[in-house]
Amino acid sequence: MLTRIDHIGIACHDLDATVEFYRATYGFEVFHTEVNEEQGVREAMLKINDTSDGGSSYLQLLEPTREDSAVGKWLAKNGEGVHHIAFGTADVDGDAADIRDKGVRVLYDEPRRGSMGSRITFLHPKDCHGVLTELVTSAPVESPEH
């Protein structure tokens, strides 16, 4: 069962400048940063709030580390902006299977490693009214990492 909006992914050309915009404009601070070589991105997670199910909601800012990454290709075609929406779930495997059974294409056969040690998969945007949708099972969060 999907329990919350985990994050909204925003593609950007310059991660540092985009982080500064969200900090200066809205007061959001960086909770976590990492480079995900598999996905070809450098990212910053800006924590918005905690949620009733023990998780949190974030903005995920994504700067491609290479032009041939999915985010790099998307950014070249669409420019900066909202890239995807992610829903939190306690069971990414089960929810992905249930959604696949309803005729929605799930992009990964097995969930992959996502931000902060999470497990993720994506749903095809053409099956989700044009919205790239991510399913996320968060790893337990002990403390922020920068």
Tell me if residue 134 is catalytic: yes
Distance CA 10, CA 18 (A): 10
Among the listed residues 32, 60, 63, 83, the single catalytic one is 60
Among the listed residues 7, 32, 39, 63, the single catalytic one is 7
Among the listed residues 39, 63, 83, 134, the single catalytic one is 134
Tell me if residue 124 is catalytic: no
Among the listed residues 32, 39, 43, 63, the single catalytic one is 43
Q: Which residues pair with 32 in a beta bridge?
A: 45, 145
Tell me if residue 39 is catalytic: no
Tell me if residue 84 is catalytic: yes
The DSSP annotation for 53-116 comes to TS-EEEEEEEEESSTTSHHHHHHHHH-SEEEEEEEEES-HHHHHHHHHHTTPPBS-SS-EE-GG
Tell me if residue 63 is catalytic: no
Among the listed residues 39, 63, 83, 84, the single catalytic one is 84
Which amino acids are annotated catalytic? 7, 43, 60, 84, 134
